[in-house]
A and B are shown apart, each in its own frame.
Chain A
Amino acid sequence: GQQLNQSPQSMFIQEGEDVSMNCTSSSIFNTWLWYKQDPGEGPVLLIALYKAGELTSNGRLTAQFGITRKDSFLNISASIPSDVGIYFCAGPPNGTASKLTFGTGTRLQVTL
């Protein structure tokens, strides 16, 4: 099946630093969704991207839909302790209108 690989797998950063992570696929996606999962909770949608090249912001978060449609990027500016969690990219694989494939996840830890 289609895989979504996220990089980095985990990262430790200091409060106030900017964070970048990416998600790559072996095949084309028409929609990219970025989620955050807190421990013991379900994922919560952060940003949705629907068009190649699209750049969308949600507060301190900015995500981009790669031109090749095989990748996406998420940036967090001026990180704060509550940014701690696991960030997942996800999308419906080509040809499946509703099922989501999730990325491998990036675990973010923020130190004071």
Chain B
Amino acid sequence: GAVVSQHPSRVICKSGTSVKIECRSLDFQATTMFWYRQFPKQSLMLMATSNEGSKATYEQGVEKDKFLINHASLTLSTLTVTSAHPEDSSFYICSILHGRYGYTFGSGTRLTVV
């Protein structure tokens, strides 16, 4: 199966700063990647679908200017949380789609905004 590497695994940033999270597909050329957010004791909620070479598609209620997604190559998608605030503290997880229903998830990034 496909292997997905997500980095960093944990990050602490000050309120008002920006933080970038990387999602790499190590052995599969992923035209589509997904970004999820998971608050403590809750389920995964899809934030956006990242398409290589085009603009990401955001889910309703997700601010595209706050969560910048770049999918410039078939192996890398990045999520930048801009002007982070404490309420953005969460567990962010990426996944790639390979084949029809083959989803492989990264190991997640724990973001804490202080």
When A44-B105, A98-B49 are in contact, do A103 and B110 touch as well, CB less than 8 Å?
no
Q: For A98, what are the chain B residues with a Cβ–Cβ distance below 8 Å?
A: 32, 49, 97
B95 touches A (CB below 8 Å): yes
Question: CB-CB contacts of A92-104 with B at 8 A, as 1s and 0s?
Answer: 1000001111111
When A40-B110, A41-B107 are in contact, do A99 and B101 touch as well, CB less than 8 Å?
no
Q: For A101, what are the chain B residues with a Cβ–Cβ distance below 8 Å?
A: 46
Chain B interface, >50% SS class = strand
Q: Nearest 8 A-B pairs (CB), nearest first? A: A42-B105, A102-B44, A102-B43, A42-B93, A42-B108, A42-B107, A43-B105, A42-B106
Q: Which residues of chain B have a CB within 8 Å of any CB of chain A? A: 4, 6, 9, 32, 34, 36, 42-46, 49, 60, 91, 93, 95, 97, 101, 103-108, 110
Q: Can you identify 30 A-B contacts, CB atoms within 8 angstroms?
A: A1-B60, A31-B101, A33-B103, A40-B9, A40-B91, A40-B107, A41-B108, A42-B4, A42-B93, A42-B95, A42-B106, A42-B107, A45-B104, A48-B101, A50-B101, A92-B101, A98-B32, A98-B49, A98-B97, A100-B34, A100-B46, A100-B95, A100-B103, A102-B36, A102-B44, A102-B45, A103-B43, A104-B43, A105-B42, A105-B43
